[in-house]
Amino acid sequence: MKIYSKENVHTEAIKRINRLFDDFENVVVGFSGGKDSTVCLNLTLMVAEQRNRLPLKVVWVDQEAEWQGTADYCEEVFADKRIEPMWFQIPMTWYNNLSSTEKYIHIWQKDKKHIRQQSDISIKDNVYLDFGFNQLFERIFKIHFPEQKSCYISGVRTEESPKRLMSLTSALTYKDITWGKKLNEKLGHYTFYPIYDWSYGDVWKFIFDNDIKYNRIYDALFSHGVKVRDMRISNLHHETAIQNLLLIQEIEPDTWNKVAERVDGSNAVKHLKGSAFICPKELPYMFNSWKQYAIHLAENMIDDDEFIARMNKEIKNHKKYMITNDVYIAFYRTIINTILSQDFDWTKFNNFTLSQHYNTVKKYVNGKITKENLEINRKYNKLIKDLL
């Protein structure tokens, strides 16, 4: 249940950032060129100027296969004298969500032709870790700020993920703060999300009310019919950016040519329809069940034993919750969407299992709530109507 206060989100965010400047000698902002990080950056700059805490350190982990518009925008931001840029263009291995045969993409390889030219001011040596980003920021802070109590400000918002909502509101991270996570508690390193409770409408209102420059790729996406709520500015091999590949050839043809040459699977994706990455509404006629359809897709699209093992484990673990047809279909449609988007991190699935709808079902099966409790939830919970 959400509890609304009388304060607006802008005022609360400023209070939170001031609190971070009070408690941490080193405040760093994460930046991606997206709307949320743009808001966090400008809010933090406002506070830093008022408190005479400039220049402000700003981190961008550049993943090579980025919109050129994003790169241009980030470069313009880093030219601001109020900012101390930490632009990472380091060789790393990460998941390739565009291919069913090449699970990994190797970014900024020294022996490969790059999609974009590296910046003169960027950090190019990887002394942090070789794979993924889950521990990258912890390593960056440990190496660059080993003796400073430091915090990293990120633009994560709970509106986009039930998993985030639960994690940022249910447990203390630092003193009395829930809206963050620990990077390295021993060294005094934390990540915080001061706009966690903002909506996408709040984000755009702040940008326009304050006449803030933003990534113009958003304008291009809007002109191509992408809904404001669905716009994503992320690297072009990320699972949330697959739909962008269907537009990039029109918006940035030069970038498309370089990505198609460099990233395995991107050319095949471009020739598919947008619906190819989304589970169909109706079960295809050649399958007897949604489970059969999901297993068929996994066996024919995923060449990764770890992914298949994870899928089989989740099916086994959640079998007891398949108590109605609606729950059954929702579960397997989520598995199918995970397969179709090559979501090796299982982000879509985790969000579903932590959603309020599915959590109610789990609580009922586990005896934590009664049918009387279900009656209260019936109007808004589509997964429990057959239980009553």
Mean pLDDT of 95-103: 69
Mean pLDDT of 127-144: 89
Confidence (pLDDT) at 228 = 86
DSSP string, 55-113: SEEEEEE--SS--HHHHHHHHHHHT-TTEEEEEE---EEEE-TT-SS--EEEET-TTS-
Confidence (pLDDT) at 345 = 82
Backbone angles phi, psi at 13, to 5 degrees: -65, -40
pTM for the complete prediction?
A: 0.77
Instruction: Give the pLDDT band of residue 351 (cuts 50, 70, 90).
Output: confident
Confidence (pLDDT) at 84 = 98
Task: Say if residue 385's pLDDT is above 80.
Answer: no
> pLDDT digit string (tens) for 231-252?
888 777 655 556 666 788 889 9
- CB neighbour class for 130 (10 Å; exposed up to 12, middle 13-18, buried from 19): exposed
> pLDDT digit string (tens) for 286-296?
999 999 999 99
Lowest model confidence (mean pLDDT) among 310-319, 321-330, 346-355: 346-355
> pLDDT digit string (tens) for 51-91?
999 999 999 999 998 999 999 999 999 999 999 999 999 99
Mean pLDDT of 332-338: 94
User: Residue 39, SS3?
Assistant: helix
| Contact present, 65 and 262 (Cβ < 8 Å) | yes
Structure tokens that stand for 328 in this block: 């059954």
Domain boundaries, the chain: 9-200, 290-387
Kindly report the CA angle at 303 between 299 and 309, in degrees rounded to 5? Answer: 70
Confidence (pLDDT) at 272 = 52
Structure tokens that stand for 339 in this block: 């397969």
Lowest model confidence (mean pLDDT) among 97-101, 216-220, 253-257: 97-101
| Contact present, 224 and 243 (Cβ < 8 Å) | no
Task: Say if residue 195's pLDDT is above 70.
Answer: yes
Q: Partners of 190 in the beta sheet? A: 151, 182
Instruction: Give the pLDDT band of residue 4 (cuts 50, 70, 90).
Output: low
Confidence (pLDDT) at 120 = 96
User: Residue 301, SS3?
Assistant: helix
Confidence (pLDDT) at 209 = 97
DSSP string, 219-279: HHHHHTT--GGG---S-TTSGGGGGGHHHHHHH-HHHHHHHHHHSTTHHHHHTS-GGGGS-
Instruction: Give the pLDDT band of residue 38 (cuts 50, 70, 90).
Output: very high
Classify strands 26-30 and 150-153 as parallel, antiparallel or unpaired: parallel
In CATH terms, 9-200 corresponds, of 2.10.240, 3.40.50, 3.30.1450, 3.40.1560, to: 3.40.50
> pLDDT digit string (tens) for 260-279?
887 766 665 555 555 556 78
Over pLDDT 70: what percentage of the chain?
90
Instruction: Give the pLDDT band of residue 150 (cuts 50, 70, 90).
Output: very high
114 Cβ contact partners less than 8 Å away, ≥ 6 residues apart? 64, 108, 262
Nearest to 291 by CA among 234, 323, 245, 331: 331
Nearest to 190 by CA among 174, 177, 175: 174
Confidence (pLDDT) at 220 = 93
Confidence (pLDDT) at 100 = 62
- More confident site: 185 or 111: 185
**CA torsion angle 281 284 287 288 (round to 10):** 50
As a whole number, the mean pLDDT across the chain is 88
Mean pLDDT of 356-365: 88
Nearest to 335 by CA among 361, 317, 356, 359: 317
55: cis peptide before it, omega within 30°?
Answer: yes
- More confident site: 248 or 314: 314
- CB neighbour class for 351 (10 Å; exposed up to 12, middle 13-18, buried from 19): middle
